[in-house]
Structure 1
Amino acid sequence: MNKKNISIALVLSLIVISSAVFVTVKNKQPVTKKPVILQNKVVQPILTPQQERRKQGYIKKNSLGVEYKINAVLWTKYDDNILVDGIPNADDEDNTKPVYGGKKVSYISKDLIKQYEEASKIKDKKENKAKTSEILSKGKDFYSIVVYKKDKLPSEVQIKKDVKCENQQKLGEKENFVFYFGYNNFNDKDLPDGEKVIYKELYDDAMAIKSTISTFKPLTLADLFKETNNFKFKLKDLDGTEVSSEVFNKNKLTMVNLWATYCGYCIDEMPTLQSLSKELANNKFGVLGVASDVYTKDAVDKSLAEKAKKIVTEKGVLFTNVIPDDVMKYDGPLGYISGYPTSFFVDSNGNIVGDIIVGDKTKAEYTKIIEKLLKEVK
């Protein structure tokens, strides 16, 4: 259930670091942190400050420059009812636009979910988008975060329009960035009694963000990926078969597609990715999917794993889809991104090449990008 302009996922964090997947960064070697047993006593590994904060429930959104604490278990439990969306007209590259980035988090009732699922069956894309957008707009917004470019900061009237919440709170400034937090008053009107309880739990936790949120200079995907030398991993696919980064050796170029089971645009573009994988196979091109949300709370969510398997089967996907682990999700590519789908490309040695793609694209757009990279990589 996502609007275009990036299906943003709420990346929930409670972590105990493992070392099955890692991204090698210049001057930094991956560190294995496992309990050490000495004379029948288990000595727990020393966590870095950031790892300790994640363990406490803090999530860090590098692309927005914010960090705050939430009840990860609660939000994961009701993730089917949560819509995380981008802020219209946000652009981290166009300096003429005032909004650098942001997100809005809303509650979507079970009734709206049913309406959305029916509307998603509409074949006409324009009508489909209009109807699904109309339905999602009826959700109950919890909060929003909007980051402005300081030298383009708009009027208070415009800020209220951008934040789209009854209450606006300026969080502060960092270099050329100004941060705002918006939140709505409690409103469980029109919700069934059973959902009122769910809504209140989520609302109360969302309001607690106000007292824990802190800001820092936002980091672009280019900032986060630019020092990454090599993408390595050893994971399992949706069928439980082990898959390692050696899979990249089979092709000249591989597209790594990060998606989530709740991301409508991720699912909609799967047939396109499958088609590209098949049609460009002779050019040594392949696709590797990462079912990003299947791994939650330091473990594989079996129900989400089954949901992911059902999705790829229904969409006719034949390329491999792997399940991430702690390091990939929190200290690797999944820890860098702010929304789904996000894709990047690697050569046969796992070196990241080309630009990071946020959001979905048409088959023609993907083809143009892929053919260009195939000519550039060795």
Structure 2
Amino acid sequence: MKNKRIFLAILSVLLIVALTGCSGSGEFGSFTASTLDGGSFSGKDMGKKDLTVINFWGTFCSPCIAEMPDLAAFEKALPDNVQLITVCVDAEGNEETAKEILNYAGYEGITLVDGDDSFKEMLKVAQAIPITIFIGPDGEQIGEGILGMQQDLEGAYLSAINSALKKLGKAEISLEK
């Protein structure tokens, strides 16, 4: 029964991503959130970049934790016009655990932990984790999200980023080596 529920949850997320990811109907530009380091981040901050990559993860999620070092390395290699942020879906009350996971992985980027009603609405994308979505400067989701841990995170993310940038009429990127 538990496996059936997990399968149905994953299937639901895939359908949501398939239906909203391609249509650009997701509105992510009007939220305000607090960050793990005590700062704040909003949709306006996303508007400063050509593309924002948002990875949703949890401290309880083994695949999320396993891919975090690759995610950290990927974030450091991105050019200035593309940013990667994370959203820890269970950070409230687990702040120290989240910090430990991120520190161990070497992730130095922005992690969102709580926010206003618009931020809480955005969390509905994360019915299964890890999931990564791609947001343009206008707050609209571009293309399909990436669900689950990736064997070739760099290749999968770079392909999705370049596809999104192309849809925005922006130049493709390559990673700094």
Pairwise TM-score range, normalised by the shorter structure: 0.7 to 0.9
| Aligned twin of 2:5 | 102
Q: CA RMSD in A?
A: 2.6
- Does structure 1 residue 339 correspond to structure 2 residue 128? yes
The CA distance in 2 between the partners of 1:312 and 1:292, in whole Å, is 14
* 1:285 matches 2:74: no
Quote how far apart the aligned CAs of 1:371 are.
Answer: 2.0
Give the TM-score normalised by structure 1. 0.38
Equivalent positions of 1:122-137 (< 5 A) are none
Q: CA deviation at 1:375?
A: 2.3
Task: Encode CA deviations 1:3-55: one digit per residue, 9 max, x unaligned.
Answer: xxxxxxxxxxxxxxxxxxxxxxxxxxxxxxxxxxxxxxxxxxxxxxxxxxxxx
Q: Secondary structure at the match of 2:143?
A: strand
Number of equivalences? 160
Give the corresponding residue for 1:214.
Answer: none
* Whole-angstrom distance in 1 between the partners of 2:111 and 2:146: 18
Match of 1:272 among 51, 70, 74: 70
Match status 1:261 vs 2:59: yes
Q: Within 2, Cα distance between the matches of 1:260 and 1:252?
A: 26
| Cα distance between partner residues in 1 of 2:8 and 2:74 | 36
Instruction: Find the aligned partners of 1:305 and 1:146 in 2 and give their Cα distance.
Output: 30
8 Å CA contact retained: 1:288, 1:320: yes
- Equivalent AA in structure 1 for residue 86 of structure 2: G
Contact 1:277/1:319 (CA < 8 Å) preserved in 2? yes
Shift of 1:311: 1.0
The whole-number CA distance in structure 2 between the counterparts of 1:328 and 1:337 is 14
Supply the distance in 2 between the matched residues of 1:256 and 1:146 (Cα, whole angstroms). 23
Q: Does 1:313 align with 2:103?
A: yes
* Runs ≥4 residues deviating over 3 A: 222-227, 325-330
Aligned mates of 1:250, 1:292 — CA distance in 2: 24
Per-residue deviation at 1:224? 5.5
Q: Is the 8 A contact 1:224 1:336 kept in 2?
A: no
AA of the residue aligned to 1:236: S
After TM superposition, list the pairs within 5 Å mapping 1:68-217 onto structure 2.
Answer: 87=3, 102-103=5-6
Task: Confirm or deny that 1:246 pairs with 2:44.
Answer: yes
**Which structure's CA Rg is the greater one?**
1
CA separation in 2, counterparts of 1:250 and 1:341? 25
**In structure 2, what is the equivalent of residue 359 of structure 1?**
148
Give the letter aligned to residue 312 of structure 1.
Answer: L
For residue 230 of structure 1, report the CA deviation from its aligned partner: 4.0
Q: CA deviation at 1:367?
A: 1.7
Q: CA deviation at 1:232?
A: 2.3
8 Å Cα contact 1:259-1:342 kept in structure 2: yes
**Counterpart residue number, 1:350:** 139
What CA distance in whole angstroms lies between the structure 1 residues aligned with 2:148 and 2:39? Answer: 28
What residue is the counterpart of 2:165 in the other structure?
Answer: 374
The amino acid that maps onto 1:374 is L
If the length of structure 2 is used for normalisation, what is the TM-score?
Answer: 0.77
Render the CA deviation track for 1:104-130: whole Å, top value 9, x for unaligned.
xxxxxxxxxxxxxxxxxxxxxxxxxxx
Q: 1:305 to 1:328 in 2, by over 3 A?
A: farther
CA distance in 2 between counterparts of 1:273 and 1:366 reads 10
**8 A contact 1:328–1:335 mirrored in 2:** no
Structure 2 CA distance for partners of 1:329 and 1:229, relative to 1, 3 Å: closer
Please give the alpha-carbon distance, in whole angstroms, between the structure 2 residues aligned to 1:250 and 1:329: 18
**Does the Cα contact within 8 Å between 2:29 and 2:42 map onto a contact in 1?**
no
Q: 2:117 aligns with which of 327, 333, 339?
A: 327
Tell me if the contact between 1:344 and 1:357 (Cα under 8 Å) persists in the aligned partners: yes
Q: d(CA) in 2 for partners of 1:336 and 1:229?
A: 11
1:365–1:279 CA distance, 2 compared to 1 (3 A)? same
1:285 maps to a residue whose letter is V
Q: Which amino acid aligns with 1:317?
A: Y
CA contact (8 A) 2:35 2:114 kept: no
Q: Matched residue of 1:262: which SS?
A: coil
Residue identity over aligned pairs, in percent, reads 25
Unaligned segments of structure 2, at least 5 residues: 170-177
Choose between structure 1 and 2: higher strand proportion.
1
Gap change, CA 1:233 and 1:360, over 3 Å in 2: same
Residue 365 of structure 1 aligns with an amino acid whose one-letter code is A
